[in-house]
Amino acid sequence: MLLIAAVFSSFLVPSAIVLFVFSTPALRRRPHFILNLCAIALGLTQGSIFIYVTIMELQLNAPSPTLISVITALCIVGPICVQTILFLRVLAVYPPHQQSVLVRYGVYGPAVAMKLARVVNAAYLLYIVQRGNGAKTIAGQSAAVWGSPFAKSELSLQLLDDVYVSTLFLLKIHTGVRFSGKQLRRHSSDPQVAFSQGSYGARLQTLFWIALSNFVFPVIFDVAQLVLIFRNPNYVEGSYVIIVNSYVSILGVLFSTIWASGATQLRVGDASSAECGCGYGYSIRPPGHTTSYSASLSATASHLPLPPKPVRPNAHTGSSLIVPPEVKVRFGSRSDLETVSGEAEYSSSEEGRFVASPRIELAARHPYATAVSVPTQHSQ
């Protein structure tokens, strides 16, 4: 018990540091980040109390009955609090205001029902254990909890809750990753799409680690708990698995937040590079695709005049004056025109010269624009 509490508690400290490193100020104000910090504090508190009580018993000093009651409550109620973080992520990926009434009841109903059932069952289990006439020691409290039928129902509900909520969360993430893969394959003819393959692979890797931390490991330990509580009357092995599972749940939600934050920063960096033209990021957007930010920009740009037409430079070849043909860009929609119109660059270092063929380069970068060469009256 002492070794398990010390080792897993030591994992939480560097994990908390990494969580702050990979998070942004905006992310630190979100509820799931604050709940992750609460989960870390819960794990550290649980580990500290376990270490203190174990050392007291090794020294043949009886710990306080109140402290033992706190440990019992943390072991029973702690997993419910930690797994609520994953339920809040389900609320984030399935926003209630975007779902119909039937979808809300179908998605949130079972999860909320299982959470309420677990809370009621855990409260009644604590009431029975504290009201019992057993010894107020770790061994006596553990034996009372292990032999109670409400403990078996709690572990069964925990397994169902983990499987249901994790499946909903992973299905939504998998749908987004699969959509990104389809978009990459659809535009695979563009040479710049190759630079997005790394981002798509990073998303797949993030999905794998989130699935491993939030679904595979917790479910394995939940099944092990059920097997032990139904097959083994000895509470010692079962208590070890329960304590390890509580720390695995904390580390699982913590790691998934870290990986998701790292993947988000990678995608934001790629998008910024693509917009400024200083990197290899590439954003694939089908025709008519708009976001709230792009829609607001389009609404603003619709009230602004188009940029003035630049003066075309003249080139002398021998004794004849050659005026290069005007290059126009035909766009599929006004949103593409508004997007490209702000990207014309002027070279201030060489007076009177533009960057070579800016509109041709822009047309090559935009799959929904077609460059058309229109000869002028001065062209030969």
CA distance from start to end of the chain? 89
Specify whether 217 is located in the same domain as 357.
Answer: no
113 contacts: CB under 8 Å, gap ≥ 6: none
More confident residue, 360 or 41: 41
Distance set, CA 100 to CA 87, 105, 108, 173 (Å): 19, 9, 12, 20
Contact between residue 238 and residue 225 where contact means Cβ atoms under 8 Å apart: yes
Distance of CA 262 to the CA centre of its chain: 9
| CA gap 169, 341 in Å, rounded | 40
Q: Are residues 37 and 185 in the same domain?
A: yes
Angle, helix 138-146 to helix 101-131, in steps of 10 degrees = 130
Same domain flag for 254 and 331: no
- Residue 380 within any structural domain of the chain: no
Same domain, yes or no, for 262 and 202?
Answer: yes
Question: Out of 209-213, 247-251, 320-324, which region has the weakest mean confidence (pLDDT)?
Answer: 320-324
pLDDT band at 271; cut points 50, 70, 90: very low
Answer yes or no: do 17 and 44 share one domain: yes
Last residue of a domain, one of 213, 245, 276: 276
Would 282 be classed as within a structural domain?
no
Beta-carbon count within 10 A of 66 CB: 9
Same domain, 125 and 35: yes
pLDDT by residue (tens digit) across 42-77?
A: 999 999 998 998 888 888 787 888 888 888 888 899
pLDDT over 70 (residue 285)? no
Model confidence at 232: pLDDT above 90: no
What does DSSP say about strands 326-331 and 315-317: parallel, antiparallel, or unpaired? unpaired
Kindly state the average pLDDT of the residues 83-98.
81
Look at residue 26 and tell me whether its pLDDT is greater than 70: yes
Are 310 and 234 members of one domain?
A: no
Looking at the fold, whether 366 and 242 belong to one and the same domain comes out as no
Q: Are residues 307 and 194 in the same domain?
A: no
Residue 127 lies in a domain: yes
Q: Cβ of 263: how many Cβ atoms within 10 Å?
A: 19
Phi, psi of 233 (to 5 degrees): -75, -10
Distances (CA, A) of 347 to 213, 273, 274: 51, 20, 20
CA atoms within 13 A of residue 169's CA, in its CB half-sphere = 29
- Mean pLDDT computed over 244-265: 72
Domain end point (choices 244, 276, 308): 276
Containing structural domain, residue 85: 2-276
Tell me whether residue 224 is in a domain: yes
Domain assignment present for 281: no
Beta strand pairing status for 326-331 and 320-322? unpaired
Q: Is residue 287 part of a domain?
A: no
* Co-location of 64 and 143 in the same domain: yes
Instruction: Give me the CATH number covering residue 85.
Output: 1.20.1070
Report the pLDDT averaged over residues 201-211: 58
Q: Which of 249, 276, 303 is the last residue of a domain?
A: 276
Q: Report d(CA 90, CA 281) in Å as an integer.
A: 29
Query: What gap in Å lies between CA 331 and CA 326, rounded to an integer?
Result: 16
Asked whether residue 249 falls in the same domain as residue 335, the answer is no
What tokens appear for 100 in the block?
């119909």
Cβ atoms of residues 50 and 12 within 8 Å: no
Is there a contact between 329 and 369 (Cβ–Cβ < 8 Å)? yes
Overall number of domains in the chain = 2
Determine the average pLDDT of the residues in 299-305. 44
Helices (H), the chain: 2-21, 25-28, 31-58, 65-93, 101-131, 138-146, 149-186, 197-211, 217-231, 235-276, 292-301, 334-341, 358-365
Confidence band (pLDDT; 50, 70, 90) for 352? very low
Between CA 316 and CA 42 the distance in angstroms is 77
What's the pTM value of the predicted model, to 2 decimals?
0.61
